[in-house]
Chains A and B, each alone.
Chain A
């Protein structure tokens, strides 16, 4: 069962206060009991001493001179008190009438000392007794109470032990009443404490409940809601702040995801609409064979563009989910750059471009060929597409401070410096690239940036006038540095 925090606190505080109150009540009861017993014992001793003063010894005879007037409690029938006198040898020399002939009080545990003991009365009730040593009256002498040792040392007269017992029913009744009273008070106090605690907890938890309501109101699909921090207690403020921060990140991720899905749908829908309409219009009537050839050619071009876009999207998704790993291979950098350029050379030639090479980097380096090929392919494709007819493309490379730099520059740039931060966003396209939808989808640079992240490389774009430059900086792994020393730059 998932108990609420409030219930748990209430339950625990109720249990704790109940325990404290019960212990307090028990302690109080114990103290009262001790106090009452002490009082009882004192009264019992007084009674015993008073009785002792009525005991006289004449020769071997012990007389207890009491009457109904002087000490009625030892004579009466209803709840009588009891006494018994022993001589030093433990022989009973006198006892109260209430003890009858057969009943006796328990013998004193130690002759000559004053002791209080609980005992069972002849009437079967609970009682309490006192034993103490005393010297009885002799003719013309006063009663003397002494300890046994003093007695033996100072007086050679025989010492008697008097045992007096009386019922403790009244005392028990008083203690029982006290116990009931304390139980009642404890129960009421526990209930009142629980109620007060409940109110206090409820008040204390009001702000937490408001936070919970705030959180509850945040929809599954709409993460724009935030928790109000004004009413949040300081104890949970750090958690609330973290939740808000988490919500911001989640919202941003969700929006990015939504935007990405919408962009993907959009970028695929437009070329798909183009294909469908082209084929539908083409099929709407009989046409010359050449018209069909042109239509097929157009459709093929668009499907190739879509193919590239889907591949780029897959690679981008893999790069973003960190499932791409480095695959280093020994690579002759000069040959590799030429190899990557070769698919674009005919396009450059067709557009009358002037291609300048400045390859200072050379030798065999440990590089991830496939990933670098993907980056360079995108950059060369962009350069040959967006350069002006008859314009210039420059490809430069150098190794400095254990980093290989590859810079691709093209003329005829119509972008502005403000476009630079945007061009690495997914599906961003310049106005010139927009009309090539389905062929240039705006994923290339975003993909390059993600792959650079995997390669621990950097990619930087700059626009100066009508010149666009993009620079790759790839740190070389240690084994490549040796290779660099074997093949110094030219």
Chain B
């Protein structure tokens, strides 16, 4: 999952980016409105966390500009402005959620997860594919009754494949959802992570869940 954080206060931005990355998200960041808009229009994000009082371009203008080009990315406004008028104005401009500073980071994470579920039309935090159960709230994975330990990136890839279960996800999409735009890693890193995932998830006596579609990408689902 890929998140964009647009926040001018350095300390808060750095902490949110760190916390989100540790939660398994690919995170891009911007310290002012113009860069934030450029990033939001150049990349596909699952959620944008947007401050309102920003240098160069304020959050409301950024949001309006984004919606004017039919960009439907979920936006969470994160601001110190707490009046009803501010909330109404923010939500009416196209924001999906409004969080007032100071906030509990765990709650922000939960809201982001809920946004991600909504994006992929998943109502429950638990995704079940055959005997594989992924609990997104606890970030736990169980197959055939056995708990599986996954690294942050492995979990991120499995979560993405699970949200789009039954559909092919290209390598580029997987890449974009686990690495931010500044990452400098080798191009076969996605295949390497898929191999690691298969080792941990697939069992000889159980049906194969991670399928390769040559030339297209990978798919999570039951084999027919």
Flag whether A377 is at the interface (Cβ < 8 A).
Answer: no
Given known A278-B15, A435-B9, contact A273–B55 (CB-CB < 8 A):
no
Flag whether A269 is at the interface (Cβ < 8 A).
Answer: yes
How many of B's residues come within 8 Å of A, CB to CB? Answer: 28
Flag whether B56 is at the interface (Cβ < 8 A).
Answer: yes
Flag whether B28 is at the interface (Cβ < 8 A).
Answer: no
Flag whether B120 is at the interface (Cβ < 8 A).
Answer: no
A302 to B32, CA, bound (A): 20
Flag whether B82 is at the interface (Cβ < 8 A).
Answer: yes
- Which residues of A lie under 8 Å from residue B19 when comparing CB positions? 277, 280-281, 284
- Which residues of A lie under 8 Å from residue B81 when comparing CB positions? 262, 266
Flag whether B182 is at the interface (Cβ < 8 A).
Answer: no
Interface string of A242-276 (1 = CB under 8 A from B): 00000000000000000000100111011111111
B15 is contacted by which of A266, A274, A285 (Cβ under 8 Å)? A274
A280 is contacted by which of B56, B80, B106 (Cβ under 8 Å)? B106
A435 to B55, CA, bound (A): 8
A18 smallest CB distance to B (angstroms): 60
Residue contact B104 to A280, C-beta cutoff 8 Å: yes
How many of A's residues come within 8 Å of B, CB to CB? Answer: 29
- Which residues of A lie under 8 Å from residue B38 when comparing CB positions? none
Where chain B touches its partner, the secondary structure class is loop
Flag whether A434 is at the interface (Cβ < 8 A).
Answer: yes
Closest residue of chain B to A301 (Cβ to Cβ) is: B11
Q: Shortest 9 CB-CB distances between A and B: which pairs?
A: A431-B55, A273-B101, A269-B80, A281-B19, A274-B12, A273-B102, A274-B11, A266-B80, A278-B15
A276 to B16, CA, bound (A): 11
- Which residues of B lie under 8 Å from residue A302 when comparing CB positions? 11
Q: For A276, A281, A285, A436, which residue has the most chain B Cβ atoms within 10 angstroms? A: A281
A290 smallest CB distance to B (angstroms): 14
A271 smallest CB distance to B (angstroms): 7
Q: For B19, B56, B105, which residue has the most chain A Cβ atoms within 10 angstroms? A: B105
Flag whether B129 is at the interface (Cβ < 8 A).
Answer: no
Q: For B11, B19, B101, which residue has the most chain A Cβ atoms within 10 angstroms? A: B11
B19 smallest CB distance to A (angstroms): 4
Flag whether A437 is at the interface (Cβ < 8 A).
Answer: yes
A224 smallest CB distance to B (angstroms): 14
Interface string of B7-23 (1 = CB under 8 A from A): 01111101110110010
Flag whether A438 is at the interface (Cβ < 8 A).
Answer: yes
A435 to B100, CA, bound (A): 18
Residue contact A273 to B12, C-beta cutoff 8 Å: yes
A143 smallest CB distance to B (angstroms): 113
A284 to B15, CA, bound (A): 12
A274 is contacted by which of B9, B22, B106 (Cβ under 8 Å)? B9
A432 to B31, CA, bound (A): 11
A278 is contacted by which of B11, B53, B103 (Cβ under 8 Å)? B11
Flag whether B54 is at the interface (Cβ < 8 A).
Answer: yes
Residue contact B12 to A266, C-beta cutoff 8 Å: no
Q: 8 Å CB contacts to A: which residues of B47-90?
A: 53-56, 80-83
- Which residues of B lie under 8 Å from residue A431 when comparing CB positions? 32, 55-56
A281 is contacted by which of B8, B22, B54, B102 (Cβ under 8 Å)? B22
Flag whether A298 is at the interface (Cβ < 8 A).
Answer: yes
Residue contact B55 to A272, C-beta cutoff 8 Å: no
A3 to B32, CA, bound (A): 64
Q: For A271, A273, A432, which residue has the most chain B Cβ atoms within 10 angstroms? A: A273
A276 to B22, CA, bound (A): 17
Residues of chain B whose beta carbon lies under 8 Å from any beta carbon of chain A: 8-12, 14-16, 18-19, 22, 31-32, 53-56, 80-83, 100-106
Residue contact A277 to B12, C-beta cutoff 8 Å: yes
A270 to B11, CA, bound (A): 10
Residue contact A434 to B80, C-beta cutoff 8 Å: no
- Which residues of A lie under 8 Å from residue B105 when comparing CB positions? 276-277, 280-281, 284
A301 to B15, CA, bound (A): 15
A434 to B51, CA, bound (A): 12
Residue contact A281 to B15, C-beta cutoff 8 Å: yes
B41 smallest CB distance to A (angstroms): 21
- Which residues of B lie under 8 Å from residue A280 when comparing CB positions? 15, 19, 104-106
- Which residues of A lie under 8 Å from residue B55 when comparing CB positions? 431-432, 434-435
- Which residues of A lie under 8 Å from residue B56 when comparing CB positions? 431
Residue contact A438 to B80, C-beta cutoff 8 Å: no
Residue contact B101 to A270, C-beta cutoff 8 Å: yes
A180 to B105, CA, bound (A): 95
A269 to B105, CA, bound (A): 14
- 19 A-B pairs with CB atoms under 8 Å apart are A265-B80, A266-B80, A269-B102, A270-B80, A272-B102, A273-B9, A274-B9, A274-B11, A275-B11, A277-B16, A277-B19, A277-B105, A278-B11, A278-B15, A280-B104, A281-B16, A298-B14, A432-B55, A434-B53
A159 to B165, CA, bound (A): 154
Closest residue of chain B to A281 (Cβ to Cβ) is: B19
A434 to B54, CA, bound (A): 7
Residue contact B22 to A273, C-beta cutoff 8 Å: no
- Which residues of A lie under 8 Å from residue B8 when comparing CB positions? 434-435, 437
- Which residues of B lie under 8 Å from residue A432 when comparing CB positions? 55
A274 to B51, CA, bound (A): 13
Closest residue of chain A to B100 (Cβ to Cβ) is: A269
Given A270-B12, A276-B105, A281-B105, 19 further pairs, Cβ under 8 A: A262-B83, A269-B82, A270-B101, A272-B102, A273-B80, A273-B102, A274-B9, A274-B15, A275-B102, A277-B19, A277-B103, A278-B11, A281-B16, A281-B18, A284-B19, A298-B14, A431-B55, A434-B32, A434-B54
A165 to B126, CA, bound (A): 130
Closest residue of chain A to B105 (Cβ to Cβ) is: A280
A145 smallest CB distance to B (angstroms): 108
A443 to B55, CA, bound (A): 17
A377 smallest CB distance to B (angstroms): 23
- Which residues of B lie under 8 Å from residue A436 when comparing CB positions? 10
Residue contact A276 to B11, C-beta cutoff 8 Å: no
A267 to B104, CA, bound (A): 18
A307 to B100, CA, bound (A): 22
Given known A266-B81, A276-B105, A435-B55, contact A284–B9 (CB-CB < 8 A):
no
Residue contact B53 to A277, C-beta cutoff 8 Å: no
A162 to B103, CA, bound (A): 122
- Which residues of B lie under 8 Å from residue A298 when comparing CB positions? 11, 14
- Which residues of A lie under 8 Å from residue B15 when comparing CB positions? 274, 277-278, 280-282
